[in-house]
């Protein structure tokens, strides 16, 4: 599977598997089927009231993808079923502007060209980006493909001069930190309730052992910082 190395704001390079052309086509088809079922259901009820029919159908067709990607971390229902999602090339969740740019360029990539423009760019560009992705600086990744932290980038953290917030991390071993790394990766590649519970439980356990309170920082970011500082202090 083709991968992309994304350099996050924490100076860690994470390897993501790019979504295949087939999975993106499948996600688009599934979303179309969902919209078709919705349209059929609404039409069967309000077929005799054109005004209400238009009010119930037009906004959903126009904003379906935009709304779901903004509210569901880059995943429409079709993308979720195909285990793919939109992410920024900078390693963070896309901004509202980025989502808007992808949505605007759907007209060129998909709607206005029957998907041919989007298919051409996804198949021919290095990071499988349609025009909307290129403009918005986003990529579509496979959430089931294990994303790995690039070890070389972690080792370079040891050369960085920065304030250490959790000096107590030196009590841990490389094996302990491999567990932290694996937990972070699993939470990113398979973002479900179970992996979230494991991540939260591990973060709370480490925070308790270090005698710190998790205020103003998410459990995931805390574990990333613990991993970074362990590398800095022990390499």
**DSSP sequence for 131-172:** HHHHHHTEEEEESSSPPEE-HHHHHHGGG-----S-GGGGGS
Q: Are 56 and 46 in contact (CB under 8 A)?
A: yes
| Helix or strand (DSSP H, E) at 104 | helix 96-104
> Please, is 161 exposed, middle or buried when counting C-beta atoms within 10 Å of its C-beta (0-12, 13-18, 19+)?
exposed
Contact predicate 218/160, CB 8 Å:
no
Give burial (CB, 10 Å; 0-12/13-18/19+) of 190. Answer: middle
Rounded distance, CA 158 to CA 178, Å? 17
Closest residue by Cα to residue 203 from 178, 225, 235, 174 = 225
pLDDT tens for the chain, 235 residues long, are 676 766 554 445 566 788 999 999 999 999 999 999 999 999 999 888 889 999 999 999 999 999 999 998 889 999 999 999 898 887 667 889 999 999 999 989 998 888 899 999 999 998 999 999 999 999 998 877 644 555 455 555 445 556 788 888 888 887 788 888 888 988 888 888 888 999 999 999 999 988 888 888 899 999 999 988 888 877 6
DSSP letter (8 states) at residue 44: H
As to burial, measured by CB atoms within 10 angstroms (0-12 exposed, 13-18 middle, 19+ buried), residue 226 is buried
């Amino acid at each position: 599977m083709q991968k992309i190395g994304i350099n996050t704001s924490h100076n860690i390079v994470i390897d993501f598997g790019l979504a295949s052309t087939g999975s993106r086509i499948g996600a688009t088809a599934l979303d179309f089927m969902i919209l078709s079922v919705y349209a059929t259901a609404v039409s069967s009820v309000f077929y005799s009231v054109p005004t209400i029919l238009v009010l119930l159908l037009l906004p959903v067709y126009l904003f379906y993808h935009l709304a779901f990607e903004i509210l569901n971390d880059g995943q429409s229902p079709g993308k979720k079923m195909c285990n793919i999602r939109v992410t920024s090339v900078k390693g963070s969740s896309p901004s509202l502007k980025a989502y808007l740019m992808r949505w605007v360029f759907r007209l060129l990539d998909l709607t206005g060209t029957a998907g041919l423009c989007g298919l051409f760019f996804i198949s021919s560009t290095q990071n499988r980006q349609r025009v909307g992705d290129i403009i918005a600086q986003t990529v579509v990744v496979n959430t089931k493909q294990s994303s790995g932290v690039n070890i070389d980038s972690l080792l370079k953290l040891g050369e960085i001069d920065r304030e250490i917030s959790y000096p107590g991390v030196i009590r841990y071993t490389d094996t302990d930190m491999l567990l932290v790394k694996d937990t972070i990766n699993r939470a990113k590649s398979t973002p479900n309730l179970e992996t979230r519970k494991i991540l939260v439980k591990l973060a709370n356990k480490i925070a308790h052992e270090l005698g710190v309170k998790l205020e103003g920082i998410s459990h995931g970011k805390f574990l990333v910082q613990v991993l970074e500082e362990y590398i800095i202090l022990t390499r």
